[in-house]
Chains A and B, each alone.
Chain A
Amino acid sequence: GAVVSQHPSWVICKSGTSVKIECRSLDFQATTMFWYRQFPKQSLMLMATSNEGSKATYEQGVEKDKFLINHASLTLSTLTVTSAHPEDSSFYICSASPTSGSRYEQYFGPGTRLTVT
């Protein structure tokens, strides 16, 4: 149980284009989903917290107009990187907290590697 999927797992796009990444909780409902960014040999950096049916809460320094987050259902959240630039190349990981679970429970997706050329 507690499986989170991400799609795509790897994407290459040209500078200036937009990319959408999907995060799905496959066998549980998640009121809250988190989006992280991870650079090589560095820890996870929380970008934003999304709650189903409401606007995402972005961490300081994260541009909400560049990283659009939508949490339309209890099993799906999407992150759209708009007008991508090479510096946006990174490993993006989502996680989901089960609606009926404990506060510590956070299950991670396998990540999406974005390369902007």
Chain B
Amino acid sequence: QKEVEQDPGPLSVPEGAIVSLNCTYSNSAFQYFMWYRQYSRKGPELLMYTYSSGNKEDGRFTAQVDKSSKYISLFIRDSQPSDSATYLCAMSATGNQFYFGTGTSLTVIP
């Protein structure tokens, strides 16, 4: 079983839609949770991070962590064509080693 599972998609939505991206994990020791955005042929860009459980909001982006279910989500409101990218979740127990999901490819159609 992989440490982190993420649906690769692809996911295609119309502009303005709410997007929900999810990851599940198996290691209950994970306590650092991150979301990265990666454009084609570029390095990942840190979007949001959370420590332990709870929600965090930053503009159009909301990250949720449910440690009891070992499930994390990233919501994108009012999605824009510029949001089209691959979104990677990542998590860590100690902050020293990070485990990445395979990424979900998102296309926002104008």
Q: Residues on A close to B: CB < 8 A?
A: 4, 6, 32, 34, 41-44, 46, 49, 91, 93, 95, 102-111, 113
For the A-B complex, the count of residue pairs with Cβ-Cβ distances under 8 Å equals 55
Per-position 1/0 for B49-83, Cβ under 8 A of A: 10100000000000000000000000000000000
- Closest CB-CB distance, B12 to chain A, in whole Å? 16
Interface size class of B (residues with CB under 8 A): 20 to 34
B39: nearest chain-A partner, CB-CB: A110
How many Å lie between the Cα of A88 and that of B46 in the bound state? Answer: 27
Interchain CB contact under 8 A, B51 and A104: yes
Among all A-B residue pairs, the 4 with the closest Cβ atoms:
A103-B95, A108-B43, A43-B102, A43-B100
**B residues less than 8 Å from A113 (CB atoms):** 41
B2: nearest chain-A partner, CB-CB: A43
Interchain CB contact under 8 A, A109 and B43: yes
How many Å lie between the Cα of A108 and that of B41 in the bound state? Answer: 13
